[in-house]
Structure formats: C-alpha cells, structure tokens
A and B are shown apart, each in its own frame.
Chain A
C-alpha cells in the first residue's frame, strides 16, 4: 500500500514577523484545503517571542531587545515567552484533527513523542515530558505549543542545537539574581542543547532528515519536498501586513505593575529556601517561580519539576498544588517538608499583599 505523500517545507532563516505570518497563512490554507498536510522547518533571526495571550512588557526586557536588534513578536500559538536564535531549529506540523485526534492533550503527546523518537536517533535520550516539553534526562531540549482553526491544527516546537543561556536570560524578564554566573549555571542544569550532549551537533540537514523520518513513521506518510502554493503566498502577504506591526505585537499589552517580581525566603531545619516569583496580580496567579537555596533534595530535578508544576497556578491553590506535587512522587529531603516550600512562597507573596 502506498503511503500518503505530505509536503516537506523548509522556509529557512527568516525574520520573526515572516515566520509568524507563515504560521497564520499555512494554518488558514490547510483549513481551506488549499495546501497539503505539511512538516515545516524554520529558523529565526534573533527574536523574542511571546505567547499569543501574553504581554510583551510583562514578559520581556524590551530595552535590551531594542538595543541588541532582537525582534519582538507575538505568536499565534500558546505558551510562554522564549528567545529564538539561529542556533535553534523550529519544526511545525500542519494537520487535520482527522490525522491527530480530538483530545488536545493527546495530540500534543503524540507529536512530542514522535519528535522525541527522532531526537533519540541522533543519539540523545529524548523523552516527552507532559504537558508540552521534550527533555533529555530531566533537561529541556524542546518546548512546544499549538493553534487550531476549525479542523486544521498547527503544532510547533523548538529544538536547541546550541544554547545561548546568557542572552536568553537578558531577553526574558527574570529576577536580577538569575544573571549571576551561578544562576546561568543553574539554567544550564535545566536546559540542554545537542551541542552539549553530542560535543559537535549533527549538520542541520541530518537533524531535519531524522526528525522528518520520525514524523513520517508516526503518521504513516512519506514526505515530498515542496514550496508555498500561490494561495499561501497571498495569505502570507495579508497576514504579514497585520502581524508585522506594533499593533499586533502589543495587542494584549498590560502594565508591569500588574506582574511584579517578588522574592522571599524561609529558613527551615533543612536549610534556606529562597523563591523568586513573577505574579499576575490581576488574575491572582503565579506566572513563574524560581526556587534556590542550600537544601538537599533527591532527585535534583524535583525542584525544576516543582517550578513547572507551579506555573499558572491560582494563588489560592498554591498550598494544595505543592502538597499534591510531593504526595505524587518519591523524593528524599533532609529535614525539609513540603510545607517549607509553601512557607517560602507565602513569605514572597506577603510582599505583594499591598498590590492584590
């Protein structure tokens, strides 16, 4: 039986506005039945990308981006702010629900598992980490997100071929303490690139071929290299006219005062716990948490997992999320209890009482 032939599209290195306008154009064209299901590879000139529903002022250091000529753009897909440079490869699938299913979480899993299988063939032990990451031994190598329009789906991921932690930390809004050498080292414990894992990363062409083969296997298809169809070119021009504007990028902008950075500490018998928080005071949610200190926890990735579990959690649920997190896994701690983390969070939030 012959396998369906889907399109393999490589749009090369482009500006962020063009890449995101292509997201819109290709998704619309798939929805309209104008173009085949597609695997697209893409790369970005240095760019700071916020999620579709994020505020650039709240997520990014815009002055730094401006000074360094780093483009600022808003994606059409969900998730958080990222720094995207030419040392990362973007991969995207444009599919129909009929190819992938109706349950969004299951679609994410299926696509991420296929991408992880591809990466594994490059010699790294990549695995899907719910809900949206691909990691190698607890360290993130690929983040993902999606968008849909009717029956058409776009699912996209990044792949770190090399990783510029210093620039990333200056582009994203993080606590000042994260800019120290020690903090950069701690980010490097949580994020990893092909270069670090393999010494010399494989050539781009081989990475793309290997990922494409894994996706083809997962969906039972063959790839046929192709370019944009005329309808996509037209949709691209229209999308670019809207997206390549401050009006698009800053459409959902909100003041930084509604997203303060807070910090607090708690001294437990097991050591000092320090937490930095980015809090959405309007929605009363934790946006992001950074935890450090001189306590002892095994496995060490527990802390990164706890930080991930606390993202986007309503403030009133913090305690129960921390308790549930530790209840659900095997963790060794020395004279340290889940409530110590809750206390450190509460101490940091105490500074925000005035604003909330």
Chain B
C-alpha cells in the first residue's frame, strides 16, 4: 500500500485517474471496481450508492453507479466496457462502507470486461499511478485525505 497526500493508493490496482476509479483483476477474469480514497475525500460522507443492476452492460467511461453525498450526485465511471455481474449489496444498507474501506468492503460493482486488453491501455498502475495522483492532487489544490 502506498500513500499520496494521506490517501491510500494500493500499488497493485489499475486506476482511471481522471475519474478516481480503481479496478482489480480477479482470477475468474472479472473486474472489481470501486472509488479511490481520494475520490471519497472529495465527495465526503456518502449517503447513497446506486449501482447499475447486474446483467446491464456499461460502456467505458459511462456510469456503472451513482453516489450521493451532501446533496451532490455523481457517477462512478466504468474503467472499461463490460457487463455488470455483481453489485455490492451491503452498500444499499451502509453506503458509508465506501468511505471506511474503499478498496475492500466498499467495492461497488464487479464487471465482466468486453475486451480488457483493448481498453485498459489508459489505466495506470504502480509508480505511474502514484505519480499521476500526486500531479492531479496538486492541480486540484487538494490538501490531503
């Protein structure tokens, strides 16, 4: 686990930096998707998470869930195109799990990617992701998680 300005950024995940989304490749070929700790810090305490229903197809950079905090609603954007194969039902009862454990119990949806190899080229991981987050936080004037 690495930390950028107080925000946890695990080295082994893939990130859509601009949209503050992480993705983890699972052994069965599916992709677990969630919000980054930085995204959570910008949003504040979530009061509602509404994932797309299982079975729905989502295009890359389109919304696979919407989240609400402080009366603001925003999308969680799919890092690649795919079919929603599972949603985190625990978030319906406790959306705050996303803030408490964004990379664990606060995961949002699981996707079956249409074509990971073709669409994942712009996702960053490891050192490249950490550097990109640091640059984004500076550009955003973010002081820290």
Q: Most A CB atoms within 10 A — which of B73, B74, B140?
A: B73
Contact check, A104 vs B73: say whether CB atoms are below 8 A apart: no
Contact check, B71 vs A146: say whether CB atoms are below 8 A apart: yes
Contact check, B42 vs A76: say whether CB atoms are below 8 A apart: no
**B71 contacts which of A131, A252, A282 (Cβ < 8 Å)?**
A131
Shortest C-beta distance, A10 to chain B (Å), equals 24
Stretch in B3-11, B26-34, B44-52 touching the partner? B44-52
Residue of A nearest to B143 (CB): A103
Shortest C-beta distance, B12 to chain A (Å), equals 26
Stretch in A147-155, A225-233, A338-346 touching the partner? A147-155
**A105 contacts which of B70, B74, B95 (Cβ < 8 Å)?**
B70
Determine chain B's interface SS by DSSP, over half rule. Answer: mixed
When A131-B70, A146-B73 are in contact, do A283 and B93 touch as well, CB less than 8 Å? yes
Contact check, B66 vs A104: say whether CB atoms are below 8 A apart: no
- Which residues of the other chain, A, contact B42 by a CB distance below 8 angstroms? 102-104
Contact check, A105 vs B66: say whether CB atoms are below 8 A apart: no
Q: Is B19 engaged at the interface, CB distance under 8 Å to the other chain? A: yes
CA distance in complex: A145, B69 (Å)? 10
Contact check, B70 vs A104: say whether CB atoms are below 8 A apart: yes
Determine chain A's interface SS by DSSP, over half rule. Answer: loop
Q: Is A79 engaged at the interface, CB distance under 8 Å to the other chain? A: yes
- Which residues of the other chain, B, contact A76 by a CB distance below 8 angstroms? 73
- Which residues of the other chain, A, contact B142 by a CB distance below 8 angstroms? 102
Contact check, A132 vs B71: say whether CB atoms are below 8 A apart: yes
Shortest C-beta distance, B29 to chain A (Å), equals 28
Q: Is A144 engaged at the interface, CB distance under 8 Å to the other chain? A: yes
Contact check, A102 vs B140: say whether CB atoms are below 8 A apart: yes
- B75-94 residues with Cβ-Cβ distance < 8 A to A are 75, 77, 92-94
Q: B76-116 interface mask toward A, CB cutoff 8 Å, 1 = contact, 0 = none?
A: 01000000000000001111000000000000000000000
- B32-77 residues with Cβ-Cβ distance < 8 A to A are 42-44, 47-48, 50, 66, 68-75, 77
CA distance in complex: A196, B68 (Å)? 33
Shortest C-beta distance, B132 to chain A (Å), equals 16
Contact check, B70 vs A132: say whether CB atoms are below 8 A apart: yes
Contact check, A104 vs B43: say whether CB atoms are below 8 A apart: yes
Residue of B nearest to A148 (CB): B74
- Which residues of the other chain, A, contact B140 by a CB distance below 8 angstroms? 97, 102
Q: Is A271 engaged at the interface, CB distance under 8 Å to the other chain? A: no
- Which residues of the other chain, A, contact B121 by a CB distance below 8 angstroms? none
Q: Is B119 engaged at the interface, CB distance under 8 Å to the other chain? A: no
- Which residues of the other chain, B, contact A53 by a CB distance below 8 angstroms? 47-48, 50, 66, 68, 73
Residue of B nearest to A75 (CB): B73
- Which residues of the other chain, B, contact A105 by a CB distance below 8 angstroms? 44, 70
- Which residues of the other chain, A, contact B43 by a CB distance below 8 angstroms? 104
Q: Is A108 engaged at the interface, CB distance under 8 Å to the other chain? A: yes
- Which residues of the other chain, A, contact B73 by a CB distance below 8 angstroms? 51-53, 76-78, 145-148
Contact check, B92 vs A283: say whether CB atoms are below 8 A apart: yes
- A241-272 residues with Cβ-Cβ distance < 8 A to B are 252
- Which residues of the other chain, A, contact B18 by a CB distance below 8 angstroms? 150
Q: Is A178 engaged at the interface, CB distance under 8 Å to the other chain? A: no
- Which residues of the other chain, A, contact B71 by a CB distance below 8 angstroms? 51, 77-79, 108, 131-132, 144-146
Shortest C-beta distance, B95 to chain A (Å), equals 8
Q: Is A129 engaged at the interface, CB distance under 8 Å to the other chain? A: no
**B94 contacts which of A149, A252, A283 (Cβ < 8 Å)?**
A283
When A53-B48, A102-B140, A104-B42 are in contact, do A145 and B19 touch as well, CB less than 8 Å? no
- Which residues of the other chain, A, contact B69 by a CB distance below 8 angstroms? 78, 104
Q: B107-141 interface mask toward A, CB cutoff 8 Å, 1 = contact, 0 = none?
A: 00000000000000000000000000000000011
Contact check, A284 vs B75: say whether CB atoms are below 8 A apart: no
- Which residues of the other chain, B, contact A149 by a CB distance below 8 angstroms? 74-75
Beyond the given pairs A78-B70, A150-B18, A150-B77, 13 more chain A to chain B contacts, judged by CB atoms under 8 angstroms and listed by A's residue number, are A76-B73, A78-B73, A102-B140, A104-B43, A105-B44, A108-B71, A108-B72, A147-B72, A147-B73, A147-B74, A148-B73, A149-B74, A312-B47
* 6 A-B pairs with the lowest CB-CB distances in the bound complex, closest first: A53-B48, A145-B71, A78-B71, A79-B71, A78-B68, A78-B73
**What residues make up the interface of A, taking CB atoms closer than 8 Å to B?**
51-53, 76-79, 97, 101-105, 108, 131-132, 144-150, 252, 282-284, 312
Chain A to chain B contacts (Cβ below 8 Å), 29 pairs: A51-B71, A52-B66, A53-B48, A53-B50, A53-B68, A53-B73, A77-B71, A77-B72, A78-B70, A78-B73, A97-B140, A102-B142, A104-B42, A104-B43, A104-B69, A105-B70, A108-B70, A145-B72, A146-B73, A147-B73, A147-B74, A148-B73, A148-B74, A149-B74, A252-B50, A282-B93, A283-B92, A283-B94, A283-B95
